[in-house]
Chain A
């Protein structure tokens, strides 16, 4: 068996090991890599900057714990950006698995950094089943959909919510999503109620949402951990996403090398030639 054939039939666990090493090494030997800002991330930053200070905004936690590594840095950075502008933040989630818990934990920890008070500066509405019903219903009355916050406190007892009736009182929506709920925020809320919005999404979802950016339905887009890293740099608070860029770089280069090797093996090892010959 020739070298290329051996290479083609390499045990997959060697590949797993290489991937593991490529991810671990940059955490042991960190490197400060220059991270460029894409126009879409700049647009997110500019759009949030343009929200008048003190406005009431939504930060929506539409992601599962599975994508916490990509989405949480975005949500965290968005909260920092809004709190820095003294915006009043209302969080909610359409995800029945962990969404409201993550919204609670993240919003409370970021609020603590800024000395923000629950009920006055931020509120977590939590979760209600059926995102289309929730999004449609909040157009008339947020309180009728969420009679209480995530902890069961009636909205009438929260000072921030006394000023908020429906979307008319919401200046901006920052959607962080790892699934198609972002589509419904666009088609139901942005289209029918005209609330401007941006979206931070996983890398898997990002290519699709270029269409929403081009149609100005999203005023900006953060795609995956790189998008989160760009946003962290833009607000001047480097965090987990920036830290992850070293490992991200190394694994991408490894995978590209594997693709090249795989193709070399395919063509030089005879499999490709055999396939072409039929």
Chain B
């Protein structure tokens, strides 16, 4: 560490402790630090505006030929008119320009960018609760390769997402002849990831057909994450299918997370699911490639959460924005609104504590690791 670096650390430590000393009681050292801080904060802005605004946006372009920029330049200087009472009204013109442009941008962006999307999101949640039909459909597939006496599962296949109604999409995927030929990712980054895995077993071959021995069952395992699954009742229809490369599927099992039907589905962590299905292969199988299809269909039935959201939004709006006296039905709604607001403010308080403590941690980390660490 160089002498300058040590000096810098001591300077920072000195002013940090000087400011912290106020926690015991007000003292001259604190006042010194406080006043220097105020001055530096003001001074910083001079350098910033000088370079980023006056030079880069005004002076240099004007010298480069954009002479008309003298108009905002004059408007900017007129701001200082407010220091002279007689002429202070002139600064209104500059202020009106700033307010006008800002208001023009706000008028549309606040409605288009905040009000509509937030209302839309609330209404979509409500409509989804009423209509429990599927909204998203994700599929993935693995392969059970039965070639001359070996049962293998193709390597983890890249997760794919696809639009709804594509149970048949499994057919359109490339049939892999070897493990080294992975199925390419289809479209878009995955929202739900599914990695098919299976327990390997051994088989003995008899030319065209394979006797499966010691393989009582193949456990088809589908692990998937849906980090956007924030809603209660957001359940998943999982379809397991086993089919030869050509021909009709041998078995399709459909189930869902909350209605277990021969398939065990567990939520290992919020939004993370593991579904397992014990597939019992028939006594003999033709040699070839078998597709293990995993299709995960997300069905949004956000009953409870949707009720919370809709009631919460409406009652908050009623509490805050209806100036009519809160009596009768409005009073009940406003009371519900208060409870919701208290929950939200409680959460806010918890987070605020976290934030303030984090800031203290930052300073203590400097004092312990950098400052004390420099002379230990």
Residues of A that sit less than 8 Å from B by CB: 13, 16, 19-20, 23-24, 27-28, 36, 38-40, 42-43, 46, 49-50, 66-70, 96-98, 100, 126-130, 132-133, 136, 147-148, 152, 183-184, 186-188, 190-192, 202-204, 206-207, 211, 214-217, 223-226, 240, 243-244, 247-248, 251-252, 255
The residue among A19, A50, A70, A98 with the most chain B CB atoms within 10 A of its own CB is A70
Q: Are B41 and A97 in contact (CB under 8 A)?
A: yes
CB distance A225 to B52 under 8 Å?
no
Task: Determine if B354 is an interface residue (Cβ-Cβ < 8 Å).
Answer: yes
Give the number of residues in B that approach A within 8 Å (Cβ atoms).
59
Check B230–A39 contact: CB distance below 8 A.
yes
Query: Is B225 in the interface zone, CB < 8 Å from A?
Result: yes
19 new A-B contacts, CB < 8 A, other than A42-B271, A190-B113, A207-B347, are A39-B230, A46-B189, A70-B362, A96-B48, A96-B49, A97-B41, A133-B102, A136-B105, A147-B61, A186-B113, A186-B114, A188-B105, A188-B109, A188-B113, A191-B113, A211-B118, A215-B117, A224-B358, A255-B357
Which of A13, A97, A203 touches B45 (beta carbons < 8 Å)?
A97
Are B361 and A69 closer than 8 Å at their CB atoms? yes
- Which residues of chain A are within 8 angstroms of B326 by Cβ–Cβ distance? none
A70 and B357 within 8 A (CB): no
Q: How far is the CB of A49 from chain B (nearest CB, A)?
A: 7
B360 & A192 in contact (Cβ 8 Å cutoff): no
Chain A residues near B41 (CB-CB < 8 A): 97
Q: Is B228 among interface residues, defined by CB-CB distance under 8 A? A: yes
Using Cβ atoms and an 8 Å threshold, which residues of chain B touch A130? 98, 102
Main SS class of interface, A: helix
Which residue of chain A has the shortest Cβ distance to B61 in the bound complex?
A147
User: How does the 8 Å CB contact mask read for B348-374 relative to A, with 1 for contact and 0 for none?
Assistant: 100111110111111111001100000
Cα–Cα distance between A24 and B357 once the two chains are bound (Å): 12
Which B residue's beta carbon lies closest to that of A16? B23
Q: Which of B113, B309, B368 contacts A24 (CB 8 A)?
A: B368
Chain B residues with a Cβ under 8 A of chain A: 23-24, 41, 44-45, 48-49, 51-53, 55-57, 60-61, 98, 101-102, 105-106, 109-110, 112-114, 117-118, 120-121, 125, 189, 225, 227-230, 269-271, 309, 344, 347-348, 351-355, 357-365, 368-369
Q: Report the bound CA distance from A136 to B107 in whole Å.
A: 13
For residue B309, which residues in chain A have a CB less than 8 angstroms away from its CB?
214
Q: List 13 A-B contacts (CB under 8 A).
A: A27-B368, A36-B269, A39-B227, A39-B230, A70-B359, A97-B41, A127-B52, A128-B57, A132-B102, A187-B113, A203-B351, A252-B354, A252-B357
